[in-house]
Amino acid sequence: MNFEETIQEVYQKVNSIDNRGEMASYIPELGKIDPDNFGVHISTVDQVQFGVGNYSDKFSIQSIAKVLSLCLAYNILGDKIWKRVGVEPSGTAFNSLVQLETDRGIPRNPFLNAGAIVISDILISNLKNPKEDFLKYVQSLSNSAEFKYSSEIARSEKSVGYRNVALCNFIKSFGQIKNEPSDVLDFYYDLCSLEMSCKELSEVFLFLANNGNQIHTNKSILTERQSKRINALMQTCGFYDESGEFAFKVGLPGKSGVGGGIIAIHPDKYVIAVWSPKLNKKGNSYRGMKFLEDFTTKSKLSIF
C-alpha cells in the first residue's frame, strides 16, 4: 500500500480549500477550539503508521467514543444487547426524540444519543466503577497512550444538556433506563469528553480492522462475528443522518463526532483518523468528509 504520497497530496488540496461549516458551539467549550486544526493519521494492520498536520494533538472525540462503549457493553451482554437498542439507521438527527415514542424507548441504533445513553445505562449496571473501568478498558486497547476525560468539556455539555436530559427521562418513562437518569448522563458526558489524537484513535480502533484482535498483543477484544457487526453498524449508522452519503462517497465503515473527528476502518487493512473541527449541516467534519472521499477515491482503498 503506497498511501503516504496520496495522504500528503489530498491533505494539501483539502487544506487549501475554504474551511467551511460551523463549530459545535452548542457545547460552549467546543466553540473555543482553533477551527484551523487539521490532522490525519493512518495505522495499518501491517503496523505502518503515517500522519500529517495536527495528528498528534488531542481533541474531544465525542460520539466516536460511542463505538468503544458499545464494544464493552457487547462484550458484557453478548447478543442480549440488541433487545435494548436496534440496528437500523434512523434517518433523523443524532439528538432526535421523535422515534422514541412509537418505538417505546428502544433507540433505533447505539450511535444516536438515545442509543448511547442506553448503552451508558447498561455499563453503569454492569461495571463496579463505571467511569474508571471504562477508561481502563480504553487504555487496554492502546499500546502506550494515556487517556483522560475532559472535566471542562463534560461540565460545559452538562450545563446545556437539556435535550439529553429529555432523551434519558423519556426512555426511562418506558422502563428502558434502569438507573437514575442523572447518573446515566453523568457517565454519558464523561464518555463523550474523552480526548485522543488522530494517531491514538487510529491505533485504538485497529482491532476492528483485524477481526476483533488487538495487533500488538493479539488479544481478542471482540469475536470475529462481533467485530463484523460493529463495522456493519458503523457503515449504516456512523454518520448521523449522513450515513448513506458517507458510504456513497467514502465507502468505509466509520464514526464521526461533533468535536470534528472521524475514524474510518478498512477491514483487514487500516484505520484512518481525521480531525478538523468545523462541521457541515449534518454535524460531520466538513474537511474530514472531503479528505476521506478524495483519499479512498485516489488510493482505491475502499471496501466497494
**Which residue ranges make up the site for ligand GLU (CB under 6 A)?**
62-63, 94-95, 113, 157, 164, 192, 257-258
Nearer to ligand GLU, 7 or 265 (CB): 265
Nearer to ligand GLU, 28 or 267 (CB): 28
Q: What is the largest CA-CA distance in the chain?
A: 54
Asked if 267 contacts 303 with a C-beta cutoff of 8 angstroms, the reply is yes
Can you state the percent helix, strand and coil of the chain, rounding each to 5?
Answer: 50, 10, 40
CB of 32: closest distance to ligand GLU in angstroms? 16
Rounded Cα distance between 206 and 201, Å, is 8
Nearer to ligand GLU, 63 or 243 (CB): 63
* Residue keyed to cell 458484557: 76
Q: Which residue, 280, 264, 295, is CA-closest to 23?
A: 280
CB of 54: closest distance to ligand GLU in angstroms? 19
CB of 164: closest distance to ligand GLU in angstroms? 5
Start-to-end CA span in the chain (Å): 17
Nearer to ligand GLU, 153 or 208 (CB): 153
CB of 47: closest distance to ligand GLU in angstroms? 30
CB of 162: closest distance to ligand GLU in angstroms? 11
CB of 157: closest distance to ligand GLU in angstroms? 5
Asked if 65 contacts 131 with a C-beta cutoff of 8 angstroms, the reply is no
Rounded Cα distance between 85 and 71, Å, is 13
Nearer to ligand GLU, 240 or 270 (CB): 240
Asked if 265 contacts 234 with a C-beta cutoff of 8 angstroms, the reply is yes
Rounded Cα distance between 289 and 284, Å, is 7
